[in-house]
Every structure is written in structure tokens, then in C-alpha cells.
Amino acid sequence: MGSVSSAAGPTAVCAEAPSAPVMAALKERTFIAVKPDGVQRGIIGEIIKRFEQKGFKLVGMKMVQASEDLLMQHYIDLKERPFFPTLINYMSSGPVVAMVWEGKGAVKTGRVMLGETDPAKSSPGTIRGDYCIDVGKNIIHGSDSVESANKEISLWFKDEELVTYTSCAFSWLY
């Protein structure tokens, strides 16, 4: 397929949407958040670029100043850890860019792209391996399971804030 010209100019032609069972397998969603240090350092675009280049589809994004209540719900599983108050303080210290990415294996692949929680253990080529030094300022959060992705997405986004569409790149990816 090529492009089609009209009076308004060239228009991209997308492939037909795949069947419902195929689409369900490719619609896994993950929650990714650029933390305040990543926002302050101006690397939001670099992070988005990596997910786009990998082939994931951005279906939700917003910049927020996260409330303490939201952060306490988000990190509830870490509440008993000694670093919890420091984590909440850090995450509420500036804006966060919350995103939802969709695609085959989005959760697992997203975690690999992020690298280890401790940047010193992260391989070059991962986001943390390329942009971080200290575990206390590791610039990005990513869901660690499909279940936690669903929970985190519902905490940070209303259903109407997420979009559904078929990307023209779909047939080039799958």
C-alpha cells in the first residue's frame, strides 16, 4: 500500500485492523512514569522516543503533580519499608509524566528497557543504565506485572483519558 492523494493532500492508508483474538493478545498495557528527576533533567522526550522506536503505542499521557494520597496508594506495597517516607517525598517533589503504553509484552519488555532499579546494576542501553547514577534518583517507574499495571493505570488515569486506535505502523510491527 502507498499513500492516497485527495484534494486536501496525501493521506496515509492503514492496514485493516486485525481480528479480535489477535488484537487482544497485542493490547497489553503498562504504566510508565517519568519521575520528578527525569522531568527536571529534560529527558521525557528521550524516554518517549525509546518506547516509540520499540514499537509500543502511547494510549495515555499527562503531566501531574502527584498528591501524597495518590503516591501512598501507588506505593502501598512498600509502606513498611524504611525508605517509604523518602520515596513519597521524592515523588511529590515535582511533576511526574504518567503514561500508558500498549503492545505485545508491554510490561515485561518495558521493565527490560528501564533496567534494574539500582542504576549501578543496569546495563548500558537501558534507560537507567544510560541516564542514572543513584538508586534514590532513578528517573522512571514501570509496572512489574500485568496486574500491577492494571492497578496503576486505574489509579493514575480515568477510562476516558485513554484512547483506542489502530496505528498505521501496526502491520509493520506484527
Q: Which residue ranges are tagged as binding site for ATP? A: 35, 83, 111, 117, 128, 138
CA angle (136 as vertex; 81, 58 as ends), nearest 5: 100
Provide the b/e sequence for 77-115 (b: ≥16 CB within 10 Å).
eeeeeeeeeebbebbbeebbbbbbbbbeebbbbbbebbb
* Torsion angle in degrees (nearest 10) through CA of 95, 91, 164, 143: 160
Q: Among the options 29, 57, 74, 141, which is catalytic?
A: 141
**Which helix (DSSP H) or strand (DSSP E) does residue 134 occupy?**
none
**Which helix (DSSP H) or strand (DSSP E) does residue 64 occupy?**
strand 57-64
d(CA 93, CA 89): 6
Q: Residues forming the annotated binding site?
A: 35, 83, 111, 117, 128, 138
Nine-digit cell string for 5: 492523494
**Is 74 designated active site?**
no
Active site residues: 141
